[in-house]
Amino acid sequence: MTTDGRPARHGHRSRTAAAALAATAALALLTACGSSSGTAVTPAAGGGPTGASTSSAPAQAASTALPTEDVVSSIQADPALKAELPAAVRSRGSLILGTSQVVGSSNLPHGGQDASGKTVGLDIDLRDAVAKVLGVSWDVQYGTFPTVIPGVQNGKYDVGQDNFGATAAREKVVDFATYLNDGQSFLGSKDVKADSVTDLTGLCGYNVATSPGSTFQQILTDGAGKCAAAGKSPYKVQYFADTAPIFLGLANGKVDIFFGPTLSLKYDSTHIAGTKYLGQISSTPVGFVTGKNSPISKALSDAVNKLIADGDYAKIFAKWGVPGIGLTTSVVNPPTTF
Per-residue model confidence as pLDDT tens digits over 240-292: 987 789 999 999 999 999 999 899 899 899 889 999 999 999 988 999 999 99
Short-list 157, 154, 175, CA closest to 166: 175
Lowest-confidence segment of 88-97, 103-112, 137-146 by average pLDDT: 103-112
Spatial distance between the Cα atoms of 333 and 317, rounded to a whole number of angstroms: 22
Predicted local confidence at residue 106, as pLDDT: 66
pTM given for the model? 0.76
Spatial distance between the Cα atoms of 246 and 216, rounded to a whole number of angstroms: 14
8 A C-beta contact, residue 131 and residue 325: no
8 A C-beta contact, residue 38 and residue 217: no
* pLDDT for 25 beyond 80: no
Average pLDDT rounded to a whole number, residues 79-84: 98
Quick one: 22 exposed, middle or buried, by C-beta within 10 A (0-12, 13-18, 19+)? Answer: buried
Structural domains counted in the chain: 1
Tell me how long the chain is.
338
Which strand (E) or helix (H) includes residue 217? Answer: helix 215-222
Cis amide bond preceding 323, omega within 30:
no
* pLDDT for 46 beyond 50: no
Helical packing angle, 122-134 and 312-319, nearest 10°: 160
Neighbours of 292 (CB within 10 A): 13
* pLDDT for 47 beyond 60: no
Predicted local confidence at residue 43, as pLDDT: 39
8 A C-beta contact, residue 3 and residue 182: yes
DSSP string of 28-88?
HHHHHT--TTS-EEE--SS--TTS-B--PPPTTPPP-PPP----STTPPP-HHHHTTS-HH
* Helix and strand counts by DSSP (H, E) for the chain: 12, 11
* pLDDT for 31 beyond 60: no
* pLDDT for 173 beyond 90: yes
For residue 87, give every residue at least 6 positions away whose Cβ sits within 8 Å of its Cβ, in sequence order, or none: none
Spatial distance between the Cα atoms of 303 and 60, rounded to a whole number of angstroms: 40
Spatial distance between the Cα atoms of 64 and 62, rounded to a whole number of angstroms: 6
Which domain, by its residues, includes 36? 1-338
For residue 127, give every residue at least 6 positions away whose Cβ sits within 8 Å of its Cβ, in sequence order, or none: 97, 138, 161, 288
Residue 13 pLDDT grade (very low, low, confident, very high; cuts 50, 70, 90)? very low
Q: Give SS3 for 202.
A: helix
Average pLDDT of the chain to the nearest whole number: 84
Q: What is the domain-level CATH number for residue 167?
A: 3.40.190.10
For the stretch 313-337, pLDDT in tens is 999 999 998 877 799 999 999 999 8
Predicted local confidence at residue 64, as pLDDT: 61
Half-sphere exposure of 207 (CA within 13 A, CB side): 21
Intra-chain end-to-end CA distance of the chain, in Å: 9
Spatial distance between the Cα atoms of 140 and 99, rounded to a whole number of angstroms: 7
